Amino acid sequence: MDHKLIALDLDGTLLDSRKKISQRNIAAIQKAEELGCKVVLITGRGNSTVKPYLDILPGRELTGYFQGALVVDEFNGLEMYRTALKKSVCESIYLDAIKRRLSIQAYKNGDAYVEDYNENAMFYEKTTGARVKYVDSLEPMILSDDNFKLLINAEPGTIARNFDFFRNKYSHDANVVLSCERFIEFTHKDADKGNALKYIASRYGVDRKNIIAMGDQMNDLPMLTWAGVGVAMGNATDDVKSRADMVTLSNDEDGVACAIARLLEIEV
């Protein structure tokens, strides 16, 4: 198979448990690009927390942010594709989160904002390396036209008890996904990693059969199932593994490098 494009999730995939990119993964990406294979990131994160990783990777390609709601050309910083949540949907999600006593985050310029800086916000900072900013009220942000994503952040048990409520109520108006056992994420109904990958592939003129996608969580499934080869990480959920074309090693075992070496038939 002539692989021409590799799409990578970030957390739990390219990043190890310490939120680092291993030297072996960097070397594998560099070899793939030397062979003419473009390597892109498609992540739930916003711009600000991804830039440090882009700076250590070879190449300047298109990047998908906020589950694919925003695609940026990293060579010149231009926004190539964007799709934001409707104000009315944001307001309703926000009010439901408040009623159910759940921590909710809004985003501006890639940064996360909360009304209550608590243990959930601290967990988010530890997990993503981002700084969460406190504001008296999220309402001005909620009612703006630039909400690429809202995120509910809670203990796994609380998320499990609330996920079906939000998915059932908002699935017609938003893409509602679990990005990990503590996060429910809301983006525009057309914003998912699969659609972001379709857009990126069209910009590069690459057929889906020539694409590899790698991920570990349910929010990665749209791109894994659309790509010619969907690769689940060894640390992926069982649902993701069952629907992938192959399973590689975990993110702490250079799983990305191992998959690239196997599929491109190279040594890393």
Q: What string of DSSP letters covers the chain?
A: ----EEEE-IIIIIS-TTS---HHHHHHHHHHHHTT-EEEEE-SS-HHHHHHHHTTSSS--EEEEGGGTEEEETTTTEEEEE-PPPHHHHHHHHHHHHHTT-EEEEEETTEEEESS-SHHHHHHHHHH-PPEEE-S-SHHHHTSS----EEEE--HHHHHHHHHHHHHHHTTTEEEEEEETTEEEEEETT-SHHHHHHHHHHHHT--GGGEEEEESSGGGHHHHHHSSEEEE-TTS-HHHHHHSSEE---GGGTHHHHHHHHHHT---
**Any idea which fold 87-188 has?**
3.30.1240
Structure confidence at residue 95 (pLDDT): 97
pLDDT reading at 120 higher than 80: yes
- 25-83 pLDDT per residue, tens: 999 999 999 999 999 999 999 888 899 999 999 888 999 999 999 999 999 999 999 99
Level-2 CATH architecture, domain 5-82+191-264: 3-Layer(aba) Sandwich (3.40)
Tens digits of residue pLDDT in 228-261: 999 999 999 999 999 999 999 999 999 999 999 9
**Entry pTM:** 0.89
Q: What's the pLDDT tens digit per position in 146-202?
A: 899 999 999 999 999 999 999 999 999 999 999 889 999 999 999 999 999 999 999
